[in-house]
Amino acid sequence: MDNTYHLEQLDRLSGLLAAASRDAAGTIRRVSVALLDVDAAAARAVLAEVAQRRTAHREIDELVPVTLVRQQPVASDLRLVLAGLRMNTDLHRMDVLAAHIAKLVLARHPEQVVPPPVRPLVGAMAETTARIADKSALCLATRDRIDALQLGLDDDELDAQYERLFGALTDAWPHGVQAAIDVAMLGRYYERFADHAVNVARRVAYLVGGDMARGVL
């Protein structure tokens, strides 16, 4: 196989992953605005974004076997292909979680999903999740191993926020069972979104150094 073509495929794979990561970070911000502003049009726009990105995810999956068709591939190429496949799974799941939030907004519209007493908590989780996604996308673009490994500190902050949110639901919650379920699910969506974003960053560490946290790859 022509080495130039092979390098082009690797560059294409890297570019698609970086774009998908940036897009996912933007989507979680937009769907959070739709949630807190009770904006059905914005929620539908998020669903449209996610649907359009399925093509990019499929293209990434299809590039993997293409980039493997090479004799004696170097270790860095193999790491990129393996990490890219796993990153694509994480990025796709991030899209799915953002879509879940958008669908919840539409299901309850014109009513709000988040009762006023917990809006600050949900808003804080949304902001922390978006910050994690932004940092993850930056790590993927710059391949900064140190920043990638440190992203878990932000995830710890989100875990603490989720615990506070869950505590609010069990402390004489006055808004009914359905609202409690909705808010609990929202907290879970944000937590899982951030977990996948952190996984992407950890895979960057693997790309750069060839080692990863146990159980991530």
| Cα(178)–Cα(170) distance, integer angstroms | 14
| Cα(123)–Cα(69) distance, integer angstroms | 46
At the fourth CATH level, the homologous superfamily of domain 3-209 is Phosphate transport system protein phou homolog 2; domain 2 (1.20.58.220)
Type and span of the H or E element at 210: none
Extract the tokens encoding 98.
């953002």
Q: Residue 214: its pLDDT value, please?
A: 41
Q: Residue 75: its pLDDT value, please?
A: 64
Q: Residue 89: its pLDDT value, please?
A: 94
Please give the chain's pLDDT, 217 residues, in tens: 455 555 677 778 888 899 999 999 999 999 999 999 999 999 999 999 999 999 989 988 888 776 666 545 566 677 778 888 899 999 999 999 999 999 999 999 999 999 999 999 999 999 999 999 999 999 888 887 777 777 878 889 999 999 999 999 886 889 999 999 999 999 999 999 999 999 998 888 777 765 554 434 4
- Cα dihedral angle (108, 109, 115, 121), rounded to 10 degrees? 90
* Cβ–Cβ < 8 Å for 91, 20: yes
* Cβ–Cβ < 8 Å for 25, 46: no
**Cα atoms found within 13 Å of the Cα of residue 96, Cβ hemisphere only:** 10
Q: What is the 3-state secondary structure (H, E, C) of 58-126?
A: HHHHHHHHHHHCCCCCCHHHHHHHHHHHHHHHHHHHHHHHHHHHHHHHHHHCCCCCCCHHHHHHHHHHH
**Entry pTM:** 0.89
Q: Residue 60: its pLDDT value, please?
A: 85
Q: Residue 43: its pLDDT value, please?
A: 98
Backbone angles phi, psi at 207, to 5 degrees: -60, -40
Type and span of the H or E element at 161: helix 152-169
